[in-house]
A and B are shown apart, each in its own frame.
Chain A
Amino acid sequence: MSDRLRQSATLLGFALIILFFAVRLPDTFLTARNLLNISQQLSMLMVVAATMTIVMVMNDFDLSVGSMASLAGIVAAVLFVADWPIWAALSAALLVGLLGGVFNGILVAVIGILPFVATLGTLTVFSGLALYISEGTTIFGRDIPAEFSGFARGGIPLEALGLERLKIPALSLVAFAVIAVTWVLLEHTSFGRKLYAVGGNREAAHLAGIRVVRVRLIAFALTGLGAAGAGLMFAARVASANPTQGAGLMLDAIAAVFLGMTMTKRGEPRVLYTLVGVLMLGIIDNGLTQLRVDSFIREILVGLIVIAAVVVAHVSKRRGK
């Protein structure tokens, strides 16, 4: 009973927030245009948070995703400047993400450094690399191919549905695809089962024949890959690459996973609930902007909402025991 309450408290809060905005902003909030906008605005965070879920399932986390996102954007942009074809530059940037993730994985899983320390270190390394490669500058303008930034402005038109001049943004489609793949991976593959087992009890998983080191290594690699993908989406959206532009993604992604964890049966991360967490953060941002709430106040409110959700979940879980 109390488990039910705990699980639904956050969702109930979310529903109330939506209701509040819908009443306050009757003409603009619950419109197809605004909702499509929100999905596009959140697409990068969705990708980072979904792949962050993969490591958080194992009770690990990755602080370096933000700087990896920046680095991937810079790598792609620098290669654009060097006249690489778009597909080659993007593949190289994604490869950098994969390798960076593997590096995190080696530090954490093979050498055995705490994820907090290891990824705090690589956060600085990736960020330094991004600054070094870009010489600290923002790469923009003619250096960014129009096809690349044009992708972020494209999408599937919805005129057939009678929605004039609206489209499902391409970035949203990418984000949904990443979430779908992550969902299949975590919920419907043996690999996903093993991830949750490692999170449940690492020693027991090892003795039960799970190759814990390999599983953790792959998980960190996927998180790195996701971060790089989000970095490229970011670069396409702003048609530029700045060595620090992804920095804000990390905390939001972790916050989204935590929000999601307050809604699951056992308090474990599940990617679909992570998606709900991302939507909560994004909808609060969108609604409060429309309500013209001071941006500093907005930050305070978002932080308090995350804390409130986690506190409610924690307290009711303890009561339930």
Chain B
Amino acid sequence: MKHLLTSTIGALVLATGVAAQDIAIVTPYLAQPGAQALIEGFETRAAEKGWEVNTIDTAGDVAAVISRMEDAVTQNVDAIVIHIDPLQVTPGLQAAADAGIPVIGLGAGNDPLLVTNVTTNGYAMAAETAVYVADRIGGSGNIVMFVFDPFPPVQIRGVVADAIFGNHPDINVIDRVTPDVQDGGIADSRAKMEAILAANPEPGSIAAVWAAWDQPALGALQAIEAAGREGEGIVITGIDANPQARDAIAAGGNFEASIAQDFQAIGFKTADVLEETLNGNAPGVPSIYVPTQFVTKANAAN
């Protein structure tokens, strides 16, 4: 509350104060935890640098992102940071380019109008967990995949896992499930997994569950435990290493591994790259990847 008050009063009363660098962050996704972590990371580092940062959320409205970018251009900010697919906001990018204002992607996507895009390598994350699964089951057995093709960043994970499992002749993908995510993804994944378990009652008939993100992995874990089949050595992996997944991995059950994007580090890196850019040293590459951390029982509690 106090924060809200001070920021309103600050904004309304001191609006014309000129800071060292004026940066606008625009995103429609601020309500999502990943986006919040990214932006908080950026804001933290920006504060250290003494920048004035204005974070604008358009509550899911993509066209409003363009509008707010145009407003920021009008206001003549020093740089704009976006967290959205740049292909959807081309007019905003063009407006900034016309005004000579650099735009940098924070976990965004590639675009010639962006200075660069700082992110993690989604293909690499999927490859790491898929390879872990293949190795753990000795390159042989039945696998259930949980994927979500409608969302591009998740869709690419499924493609990579497909390729890796396809490269093992003895691995057989018995089901490729797209759960209903409206309830958060856990409940429906659990229901789908329970149906698959019922259809494959023999112990050992399912060797592993590979999930393109953590929620289906958690749902599958619940289904396996509820069916009393946790002793069969079914290997489960997820991606993102959210707190609930970390707990499950630390508990030492079937959920064995996930992979963490270090959102804060992406935010830090973006701020650092932006500082270099403003100093005249643009990175000159379309993407900058921040390393990920593979999470297993050994480091899940960290």
Contacts and interface: CB of A to CB of B under 8 A. Distances in A.
Do these two chains interact? yes
Interface of A: 24-25, 28, 31, 33-34, 37, 40-41, 44, 135-138, 140-141, 149, 152-153, 165, 234, 237-240, 242, 244-245, 247-248, 285-286, 288-297, 299
B7 A291 contact: no
Contacts of B15: 24-25, 291-292
Contacts of A152: 91
A120 to B, nearest CB: 18
A140 B16 contact: no
B8 interface: yes
B252 to A, nearest CB: 36
Contact of B85 (A37, A138, A244): A138
B74 A34 contact: yes
Interface string B59-72: 11111101110111
B173 interface: no
Contact of A240 (B60, B62, B72): B62
B90 A248 contact: no
B7 A297 contact: yes
Contacts of B74: 28, 31, 33-34, 37, 290
A289 B62 contact: no
Contacts of A44: 63
Interface in B87-137: 87-91, 94, 98
Given A291-B11, A297-B7, A138 B72 contact: no
B150 A136 contact: yes
A289 B90 contact: no
B67 A41 contact: yes
A289 B68 contact: yes
B54 interface: yes
A245 B61 contact: yes
Most buried by A among B58, B60, B61, B64: B61
Nearest to B89: A238
A289 B266 CA distance: 25
A73 to B, nearest CB: 10
A75 B74 CA distance: 34
A28 B71 CA distance: 9
A286 B67 CA distance: 8
Nearest to B54: A292
Contacts of A296: 4, 57
A291 B15 CA distance: 5
B58 A24 contact: no
Contacts of A288: 11
22 contacts: A24-B16, A33-B74, A41-B70, A153-B91, A153-B94, A165-B98, A237-B63, A239-B87, A239-B90, A242-B62, A242-B88, A245-B62, A247-B60, A247-B61, A286-B67, A286-B71, A290-B71, A291-B12, A292-B54, A293-B11, A293-B12, A295-B30
B288 to A, nearest CB: 22
A244 B60 contact: yes
A141 B87 contact: yes
Interface in B38-72: 52, 54-64, 66-68, 70-72
B56 A295 contact: yes
A297 B8 contact: yes
Given A293-B12, A295-B56, A296-B57, A149 B90 contact: yes
A289 B66 contact: no
B76 interface: yes
Nearest to B8: A297
A42 to B, nearest CB: 8
Contacts of A140: 85, 87-88
B157 to A, nearest CB: 15
A34 B64 CA distance: 15
B68 to A, nearest CB: 5
Interface string B15-47: 110000000000000100000000000000000
A127 to B, nearest CB: 12
Given A34-B74, A137-B150, A297-B4, A237 B66 contact: yes
Contacts of B67: 37, 41, 285-286
With most chain A CB atoms within 10 A of its CB, the pick from B52, B54, B98 is B54
Nearest to A252: B61
Interface in B258-291: none
Contact of A245 (B63, B149, B151, B152): B63
A146 B219 CA distance: 43
A240 B89 CA distance: 9
A124 to B, nearest CB: 12
A126 to B, nearest CB: 17
A41 B89 CA distance: 13
B75 interface: yes
Contacts of B88: 138, 140, 238-240, 242
